[in-house]
Amino acid sequence: MRYQLFYWPGIQGRGEFVRLALEDAGAAYDDVARSNTGMDKMMAMMNGGADKRPPFAPPFLKAGKLVIAQAAEILFYFGPRLKLAPGDEAGRLWLHQLQLTVTDFVKEIHDTHHPIAGSLYYEDQMPEAKKFTHYFLKERVPKYLGYFETVLNKSGGPYLLGRKFSYVDLSLFQLIEGLRYAFPNAMTRIERKIPRVVAVRDKVAARPRIKVYLASERRLAFNESGIFRHYPELDD
């Protein structure tokens, strides 16, 4: 099965959680919207046309005839197929639950620079972004990362499922990388309390296929169009 991933070109964004799984598994895939005519294809699919089940927004994945949207659902779908999730129902549901918590966290990360409206520039909502981010760094980041630390404690580690590696470990890597990029000062402080989460990040960074991917052109750099943005005035 060769997958087709559809996501905005130029940013890592929510598509990156899917890319990391495809890359770690060595799966065959096209990053469609980054090809010459890819954006036209993506927009046509979003507008639905003859398709009875149009996605609301990217990322979405084409797997044979199936079109699946929402990063967490894409991971849920191909997790067992890519050997990045257990096959039993209870295990799959637990992983999906963790990934949906990642989804919730990612939305709040996005809102640090866009607390008022996605249609406004960051520069037009800076005072609100500062207020939002103050509480985000003080309350929300410790709460979310502390939760994953607790799960790692309970699983016995080194991974969220214990000995078994999964796609949520890859997402945890991406969260830490992105938060470090966006909020280097705050993260220095926060990371002291989440050693098991940081250890997952380190283990992921050392995985052979991930190392190759991160050094390749396929890995876009973090930038100020994405979800994780470095605006020094928002950092501690």
Q: Which residues bind its own copies (CB under 8 A)?
A: 48, 51-56, 66, 68-70, 72-73, 77, 90, 93-94, 96-97, 100-101, 104, 107, 111, 115-117, 119-120, 128, 131-132, 135-136, 139, 147, 150-151, 154-155
Strands 3-6 and 60-63 turn out to be antiparallel
How far apart are CB 165 and its own copies at their closest, in Å?
Answer: 17
Nearer to its own copies, 69 or 190 (CB): 69
How far apart are CB 218 and its own copies at their closest, in Å?
Answer: 26
**Contact partners, residue 66, CB within 8 Å, separation at least 6:** 77
How far apart are CB 159 and its own copies at their closest, in Å?
Answer: 13
Q: Any idea what the Cα angle at residue 55 is, between residues 115 and 102, rounded to 5°? A: 45
Nearer to its own copies, 115 or 178 (CB): 115
Nearer to its own copies, 82 or 155 (CB): 155
The answer to whether the Cα torsion of 91, 95, 96, 98 is positive or negative is positive
How far apart are CB 79 and its own copies at their closest, in Å?
Answer: 13
